[in-house]
Every structure is written in structure tokens, then in C-alpha cells.
């Protein structure tokens, strides 16, 4: 067990102490860190979306930038802008960095701003840089966009373009906690209000970079590659499975980014499971998170109340491991 693996286990344990009943969210954040990806969190109010991200930043001692997306937000409010200043009596344009120049960027309710502002994040999410007034500015080595959106309140929102949805390696759905978790949440908040908190040492971000190198070396044989390809192709060519309703459920399938993301996330999952190879269960365990936002369902599927997760369930039933 490597030092970086122990550090990631410590990171997970610390976050879970302040985020109750959302273990799958913590796992997703770790996978995103290991794959250098971005995460979209969708859940009802009060389901610890923002708290999860703040806990991650605190545990890593990473800088956190937060943008509350609103209809009047401008792209420069996210990326930064050039400001006119006088230096030694001479007029100068100085670039003032925006909140995107932090290790973690919380894009809160990202679907509440117009497409132009959402698009301002595209270069940052994909290339880890920002271009303003013809000048390119590199983002920190440790950088991740964590966006949130509310699934039930649609008034005054702008659906994310498919091209931007594709930049999120995962979409995580959050539900309300059960009875036991709800009681633990009450006790946790009560303890925080009285100043009773467990002090733990932060995890050095260098362990993340070391872990990424180890994830890159996780073995994936050709059978697993073929399995990933078959899963993605089932979303594009559902007619290959005529004995199931996939053809009537899927309007547009997943892009090649889905295959790349499945490969990265499956290797990261295997690493978190302390294995040096990927097996079919690693692929299946992350398929819903990686694919659910990369499917466009047909009108018939939506009319029948079919969800993306149900479509993925059917795909995993139909696609066999080579």
C-alpha cells in the first residue's frame, strides 16, 4: 500500500466525517481528483453539494473559488479581466485574475447563467488555461471545476449545452439522506455550532499527483477495452440489440469522450480498490456516473418516465464481457 494510497484513504475519511450519508459523492470527488476531471453535482436543496466541495478544499488545504451563477453574470466575473492602472505615471493594463484561478472552482447553480458565461469555463475545463484579450494564462496544476444544479427548479435556468456537459467526467445525483443519516447530520451541525470539531492534518496535494501517476500505470487488458467500447457503442447503435427497447429509448448516444472517461475512471476505481488491474466490476461501478449526462433520451422514453440510469442498466444487461 503506497503512501499516496494511504493519503487518499485519509482524505476520504476526513471528508466523510463532515458529509453524512453521501459516500458516493465523496467517492466521485476522489475519482475526479485522480483523473484530473470535473464533476457536475445535481441534487435537491440541502443535500450537501456545497458542503462536500468545501470539505474537499479544507482537507486538501486547497484554494477555493466560488461563483454564484446568476442571469446577470458576465464571463469576466469568472475568468478575470484587464484593469486600467497607472504605474509610475504611465497607463497600464493589468490582468486581474478571476475566481477560476483557484485549485477548486465551485460553480454554484451553473445552469442559472446564459450560455456565454457557461462557455467561459470550457477552455478552463478542457485545457486548464484561460485566454483573455489574446493572452493565455495557465491555471494551477491542481484544478477542478465542481458545478452544482437544482433538478426541480427550472424557471430562469439555461440548460447546459451538450458540448459542455461532455466536459464533466461525471454527473452525480444526490438524494435526501435516510433516517439514521439525518440524525447524524443534526448531531454534526450541533457539534460545529458549539465548536466541537475533530482537528485533523490536511492531506498534501502532492499525493494527488503521485496517485495520478500510479493510476496511469493500472493495467487494463484488451478485453476490458473492448467492453468499454461495446458499452459506448450500445448508446450510438442500439439497433445491435433488437430484443430490448434501447432503440426506442436513445435519441443521441455518447461521444468518444465517454470512452476516454470510462477508461480513466475505471482505472482510478481499480486503484481505489487497491488493485493493479481493471476488472468488469470496476467498469460497471462507474458507468452510470460517466454516461448519464452523455445520453439524450427520445421523446418516447421521456414520455414513459424512463431515466438515463434505467437506460444504462439495460445497456449493462445487454453488453457482455468479451
**Domains of the chain as residue ranges with CATH:** 3-178 (3.40.50.300), 218-318 (1.10.8.80)
SS (H, E, C) 229-284: HHHHHHHHCHHHCCCCCHHHHEEECCCHHHHHHHHHHHHHHHHHCCCCECCHHHHH
Q: What is the pLDDT of residue 196?
A: 60
**CB distance 285 to 314 below 8 Å:** no
Query: In this predicted structure, what is the pLDDT of residue 156?
Result: 61
* Cα 134 to Cα 131: distance, rounded to the nearest angstrom: 6
Per-residue confidence (pLDDT) for residue 155, from 0 to 100:
63
Residue 105 neighbours by CB distance under 10 Å: 26
> How far is Cα 13 from Cα 29, in angstroms, rounded to an integer?
13
**228, 227, 232: which is closest to 295 by C-alpha?**
232
Q: At 119, which helix (H) or strand (E)?
A: helix 115-119
Model's pTM, two decimal places? 0.88
pLDDT < 70: residue spans in the chain:
1, 153-157, 195-200, 322
Q: What's the confidence (pLDDT) of residue 278?
A: 95
- The conformation of residue 41, written as its DSSP 8-state character, comes to E
Please name which of 293, 265, 286 lies closest in space to residue 165, comparing C-alpha atoms.
293
From the list 95, 84, 91, 94, the residue with the least C-alpha distance to 131 is 95
Q: What is the β-pairing status of strands 170-174 and 39-43?
A: parallel
Residue 199 pLDDT: 63
> pLDDT tens, 35-61?
999 999 988 777 778 888 888 888 888
| Contacts for 275 with CB less than 8 Å, ≥ 6 apart | 218, 282
Amino acid at each position: 500500500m503506497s503512501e499516496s494510497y494511504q493519503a487518499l484513504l485519509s482524505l476520504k475519511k476526513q471528508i466523510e466525517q463532515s458529509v453524512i450519508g453521501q459516500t458516493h459523492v465523496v467517492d466521485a470527488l476522489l475519482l475526479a481528483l485522480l483523473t484530473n476531471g470535473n464533476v457536475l453535482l445535481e441534487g435537491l436543496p440541502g443535500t450537501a453539494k456545497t458542503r462536500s466541495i468545501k470539505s474537499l478544499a479544507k482537507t486538501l488545504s486547497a484554494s477555493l473559488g466560488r461563483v454564484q451563477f446568476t442571469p446577470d453574470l458576465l464571463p469576466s466575473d469568472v475568468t478575470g479581466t484587464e484593469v486600467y492602472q497607472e504605474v509610475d505615471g504611465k497607463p497600464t493594463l493589468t490582468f486581474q485574475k478571476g475566481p477560476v484561478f483557484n485549485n477548486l472552482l465551485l460553480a454554484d447553480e451553473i445552469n442559472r447563467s446564459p450560455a456565454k458565461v457557461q462557455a467561459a469555463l470550457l477552455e478552463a475545463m478542457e485545457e486548464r488555461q484561460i485566454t483573455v484579450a489574446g493572452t493565455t494564462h495557465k491555471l494551477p496544476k491542481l484544478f477542478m471545476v465542481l458545478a452544482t444544479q437544482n433538478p426541480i427548479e427550472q424557471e430562469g435556468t439555461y440548460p447546459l449545452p451538450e458540448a459542455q456537459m461532455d466536459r464533466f467526467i461525471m454527473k452525480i445525483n444526490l438524494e435526501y439522506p435516510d433516517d439514521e443519516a439525518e440524525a447524524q447530520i443534526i448531531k454534526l451541525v450541533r457539534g460545529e455550532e458549539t465548536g466541537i470539531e475533530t482537528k485533523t492534518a490536511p492531506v498534501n496535494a502532492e499525493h494527488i499527483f503521485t496517485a495520478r501517476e500510479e493510476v496511469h500505470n493500472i493495467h487494463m487488458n484488451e478485453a476490458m477495452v473492448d467492453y468499454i467500447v461495446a458499452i459506448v457503442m450500445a448508446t450510438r447503435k442500439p439497433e445491435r440489440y433488437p430484443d430490448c427497447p434501447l432503440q426506442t429509448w436513445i435519441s443521441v448516444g455518447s461521444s468518444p469522450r465517454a470512452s476516454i472517461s470510462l477508461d480513466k475512471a475505471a482505472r482510478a476505481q481499480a486503484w481505489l480498490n487497491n488493485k493493479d488491474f481493471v476488472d468488469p466490476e470496476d467498469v460497471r461501478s462507474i458507468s452510470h456516473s460517466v454516461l448519464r449526462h452523455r445520453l439524450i433520451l427520445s421523446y418516447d422514453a421521456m414520455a414513459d418516465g424512463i431515466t438515463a440510469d434505467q437506460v444504462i442498466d439495460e445497456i449493462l444487461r445487454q453488453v457482455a464481457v468479451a
